[in-house]
Amino acid sequence: MAILPLVYEPAAVLKKVAEPVVDFNDELQVLINDMFDTMYANNGCGLAAPQIGKSLSLSVIDTKGKGLEKIVIINPVIIETRGEHEMEAGCLSIPGSYAIIKRPAWVKVKAQDATGKFFEIEGEGLLGECLQHEIDHLNGKLFVDYLSSLKRKILTEKSRKIRKRLKRNN
């Protein structure tokens, strides 16, 4: 078990398309376990590998946050969407900042599991939001990229100030 250090906006790794996972080996399984530990330690419901500084197309999700519904999506692609809804988004890479984002209400995703096997997963509500948010991370996109440049600037600067303050207090 290991809790990995998070990387924060504006780190370059968060803004590029993640490399595909090709080796489904023991090392990958250790990374997946560490990513779940890191996500739970930070009270997140999703974590993408770029958020711990690794440019790999891999995300972990648990919308309940209790270790009972662990989802791993590797090399995921959204293959179908339906509807539209608005939901408040936040991100461990931009702590302290939130915004309402408009997205498809339902998505179907094709991905590989930790062994490399392909599967499909559908989700709406929080799971649908989480799937889209984590796949965005793998495409180098953050939730603030959906906002106007002014709003994006306000939110990212707010988060940078919060992080600076936390660092000083530690």
Sign of CA dihedral 119, 105, 16, 40: negative
**Type of residue at 19:** E
* Residue 22 or 41 having the CB closest to Ni ion: 41
Size of the site for Ni ion (CB under 5 A): 1
* Residue 18 or 91 having the CB closest to Ni ion: 91
- 150 backbone dihedrals φ, ψ, rounded to 5°: -65, -50
Contact between 14 and Ni ion by CB under 5 A: the answer reads no
Range 72-101, binding Ni ion (CB under 5 A): 91
* Least spacing, CB of residue 159 vs Ni ion, in Å: 12
**Residue 134 catalytic?**
yes
Contact between 31 and Ni ion by CB under 5 A: the answer reads no
Q: How far does Cα 97 stand from its chain's mean position?
A: 15
* Residue whose C-beta lies closest to Ni ion: 91
CA distance 135 to 123: 13
CA distance 52 to 54: 6
Residues of this chain that bind Ni ion (CB under 5 A): 91
**Residue numbers annotated as active site:** 134
